Structure 1
Amino acid sequence: MSGTDDPQVDHYFTARPASAEQRRTLRVRLAGRDVEVETAGGVFSPDHVDLGTQVLLRTVPAPPSRGDLLDLGCGWGPVALTQALLSPDARVWAVDVNERALDLVRRNATRLGLGNVVATTPDAVPDDVRFDALWSNPPVRIGKPALRALLTHWLPRVATGGEAWLVVGRNLGADPLQRWLTDEAGLPTTREASAKGFRVLRYAP
Structure 2
Amino acid sequence: MASGDHYFSPAPGSELNLRPFTARLAGQTYELVTASGIFSPERIDTGTRVLLDHVPSPPPGGQFLDIGCGWGPLALTLALESPHATVWAVDVNTRALDVVRRNAQKLGLENINAVSPDDVPDDIAFTTIWSNPPIRVGKNELHNILERWLPRLEPGSDAWLVVQRNLGSDSLHRWMEATFPELTTTRAAISKGFRVLRARRAS
TM-score by length of 2: 0.94
User: Does the residue aligned with 1:81 lie in a helix, a strand or coil?
Assistant: helix
Q: 1:13 aligns to what SS in structure 2? A: coil
Mapped to 2, the partners of 1:88 and 1:144 lie a distance apart of: 34
Matched, 1:37 2:32: yes
Q: How does 1:11-26 map to 2 (within 5 A)?
A: 11-15=7-11, 22-26=17-21
Contact 2:87–2:113 under 8 Å retained in 1: yes
Is the Cα contact below 8 Å between 1:17 and 1:101 reproduced in 2? no
Is 1:63 matched up with 2:49?
Answer: no
| Aligned ranges 1:12-161 → 2 under 5 Å | 12-15=8-11, 22-161=17-156
Secondary structure of the residue aligned to 2:33 is strand
Q: Is the 8 A contact 2:125 2:154 kept in 1?
A: yes
Quote the offset at 1:184 in angstroms: 3.9
Q: Offset at 1:19? A: 6.2
> Is residue 166 of structure 2 the alignment partner of residue 174 of structure 1?
no
Q: Which 5+ residue runs of structure 1 have no aligned equivalent?
A: none
Q: Distance in 2 between matches of 1:40 and 1:151?
A: 27
Question: SS at 2:7's partner residue?
Answer: helix
Compared CA separation, residues 72 and 157, structure 1 to 2 (3 A): same
Pairs aligned (count): 200
Partner deviation per Cα, 1:87-129 (whole Å, 9 max, x = no partner): 0010000000000000000000000000000000000000000
Q: Does 1:202 align with 2:202?
A: no
Q: Does the Cα contact within 8 Å between 1:17 and 1:99 map onto a contact in 2?
A: no
Mapped partners of 1:18, 1:138: distance in 2: 23
Could you say what secondary structure the match of 2:159 adopts? strand
2:12/2:37 contact within 8 Å kept: no
Q: State the identity %.
A: 55
Counterpart residue type for residue 133 of structure 1: T
SS in 1 for 2:8: helix
Note the C-alpha offset of 1:84. 0.3
Runs (4+) off by over 2 Å: 16-20, 183-188
